[in-house]
Amino acid sequence: MTRLMIHLKTGITPDFALQKAQLNTLNYRDNQGNYSYANDPTLWAGLTIFGEPGLVE
């Protein structure tokens, strides 16, 4: 969720911001270099955007 808000604040459209946030989470590596979230889609694939979001400040 934090990455989604960061991308929205930079002016990226909501659909692309969500996509980038999901990819950031999917490709995240822990200190040992392991993909922590890649094997569990419930941790990165569950968000959906409905309607027009308001201004993010």
pLDDT of amino acid 54: 65
Q: What is the dihedral of CA 31, 34, 49, 6, to 10 degrees?
A: 30
Residue 17 in domain: yes
Residue 55 in domain: no
Mean pLDDT by 10 residues, the chain (57 residues): 87 88 82 76 69 64
Category of 51 on φ-ψ map: left (φ > 0), alpha (ψ -120 to 50) or beta:
left
pLDDT of amino acid 10: 92
Question: How far, in Å, CA of 48 to CA of 56, rounded?
Answer: 17
Residue 12 in domain: yes
pLDDT of amino acid 44: 62
Task: Fill in the DSSP letter of residue 11.
Answer: T
Residue 7's SS3 state is helix
Total count of domains within the chain: 1
- The residue count of the chain comes to 57
- Residue 10 domain boundaries: 2-43
